[in-house]
Amino acid sequence: MPARIDFQTEPARYRHWKLAFAGDVAELIMDVDENAGLFEGYQLKLNSYDLGVDIELADAVQRLRFEHPEVKVVVLRSGKDRVFCAGANIRMLAGSSHTHKVNFCKFTNETRNGMEDASQGSGQKYLCAIRGTAAGGGYELALATDHILLADDGSSTVALPELPLLAVLPGTGGLTRVTDKRKVRRDFADAFCTTEEGVRGARAVKWRLVDQAVSNSKFEQAVADAARKLAAKSDRPSGAKGIALTPIERRIKADVIAYSSVKVEIERDARRATITILGPSGPPPSSVEAMAEEGAAFWPLRLARELDDAILHLRLNEPEIGVLIFKTQGEPTRVLAFDQFLDANKGHWLAREILHFWKRTLKRVDMTSRSLVALIEPGSCFAGTLAELAFACDRSFMLIGGLPGDNRPPAALVLSALNFGAYPMGNDLSRLATRFLGEPASVDRAKADIGKALAAEDCESLGLVTATLDRIDWADEVRIFLEERSSFSADGLTGMEANLRFAGPETMETKIFGRLTAWQNWIFQRPNAAGAEGALKRYGTGVKANFNPERV
């Protein structure tokens, strides 16, 4: 594996994707360079992909939202003949660590969720045009779109062949999107997922695996017609000018990652990292036009991009860091001013995109398999949007009063209107509604205190923090918690935290990530898949896998 996986890229550096624009329609073309894999030891043949391919896709999806507000429909298609996408590269999966495989699947899911969020939240619709084979992750990519067209040419197919070929399951939400999103009948889904060669033409339409099957001679016209219909459903602003997502500025040293508003300090011996968020240095702009002029430097957008990058870096490049400690520094009233500005202008396309980006970034925090703890101390600014980080944590500790020699104001937590629905979790509930699932009146009590600086005693009374501690107990209690957390089994904590974070209703998203945590963590390690005689190791060798027949 490379020394460090970098999640920053830009279209000029793409090796695997191309973008083309025509009015309110963009084409996102998958044309994978088979010799540009992220690791050594495999080729990305047949438009198969690894994490490097998906990093570019995630960047493209993000840029389409922010840099091209005029685009109402994105047509996803292949740049290669006779193949759409063969899915995740098998050699890459066979040679990767278990940790990388699971984090790879998690990132691909988040990217596809981002495509669906672009459609649902921002009116930027996705259309998939399949010519050739769309297998495994290739079909899962199509499943993330609003409308799927399949060439009815006798050879183009859709397939989820992971079980018969590899003894694993579709890792990017395939089973769940087939049943919950496309409403495929259970018996048809069973037949589909155990058929190596896939399904084509009229049968794919009948089983609701695709929306249309169109002959080659009429295919391009059908794509244009479908794009036009999707565009009519979009509320994207015609003629709006986008903003450039300029490179994120950061400095990476051995144990420190420094951004403009985020600092990550890593304690390797203790297996933990502290993420400190810096509040804004001044007031919000006077108008949406001034916000657009600031572009990527606008504090809420700049911070969301930096935090998102930091979380991804820790996930993939620091797998032994088990505890993430969130701190903030700044003036709460300034954070609230930015919240109020965004909320007041949420009808503007850019403000809307920034709010949706924060929603996705906070979900990224929710889905990170690390113990999360917030320390609310003097001088902190856990207010509004930044308070969501405290509510995302497994535990939160708040200091009563101040510390000797510290002249900063006592710790306070401040709520804004954005804490009550703007940033839903995967279960479609706010973090406060999830926190108070059994006591909805507590949400109303908290809502009544919007805008108030809530001291430690107030937060304890309202149930907004786990514990409040005075200066005598603060250091010892926090130390004991952190040492205890580091002593537990990482596997056990991952399972426990994933179960406890998403109380309440089940959604397609919580099913996808819950099954990823449970099924893939187990199946990816079983000998039938990953053993020396398993399907992942023997795939393509001509020798059949040797399966243990026991049902567990």
For the chain, counts of helices (H) and of strands (E): 23, 19
Q: What is the pLDDT of residue 518?
A: 78
96 within 8 A of 104, measured Cβ to Cβ: yes
| Segment 141-146 mean pLDDT | 98
| Segment 339-361 mean pLDDT | 98
Q: What is the pLDDT of residue 405?
A: 84
**pLDDT over 90 (residue 51):** yes
**pLDDT over 50 (residue 490):** yes
Domain limits of the chain?
Answer: 11-232, 251-500
Average pLDDT of the chain to the nearest whole number: 95
Model confidence at 2, pLDDT cuts 50, 70, 90, reads low
251-500 shares the fold of 11-232:
yes
- Nearest one of 252, 227, 379 to 310, comparing CA atoms: 252
**pLDDT over 80 (residue 519):** no
Q: What kind of fold does domain 251-500 have according to CATH?
A: 2-enoyl-CoA Hydratase; Chain A, domain 1 (3.90.226)
Task: Give the lowest-confidence range in 24-33, 108-117, 316-325, 542-551.
Answer: 542-551
Complete DSSP assignment for 448-488:
TTTT--B-HHHHHHHT-SSEEE-TTTHHHHHHHHHHHHHHS
Residue 25 has phi, psi (to 5 degrees) of -120, 135
Q: What is the pLDDT of residue 223?
A: 98
Q: What kind of fold does domain 11-232 have according to CATH?
A: 2-enoyl-CoA Hydratase; Chain A, domain 1 (3.90.226)
**pLDDT over 50 (residue 398):** yes
Paired residues of 335 in beta bridges: none
Model confidence at 371, pLDDT cuts 50, 70, 90, reads very high
Q: What is the pLDDT of residue 172?
A: 85
Question: Model-level pTM?
Answer: 0.96
Residues 235-289: tens digit of each pLDDT: 999 989 999 999 999 999 989 999 999 999 999 999 999 999 999 999 999 999 9
Model confidence at 1, pLDDT cuts 50, 70, 90, reads very low
Task: Give the lowest-confidence range in 42-51, 378-387, 407-416, 490-499.
Answer: 490-499
Residues 437-480: tens digit of each pLDDT: 999 999 999 999 999 999 999 999 999 999 999 999 999 999 99
Residues 158-212: tens digit of each pLDDT: 999 999 998 988 888 999 999 999 999 999 999 999 999 999 999 999 999 999 9
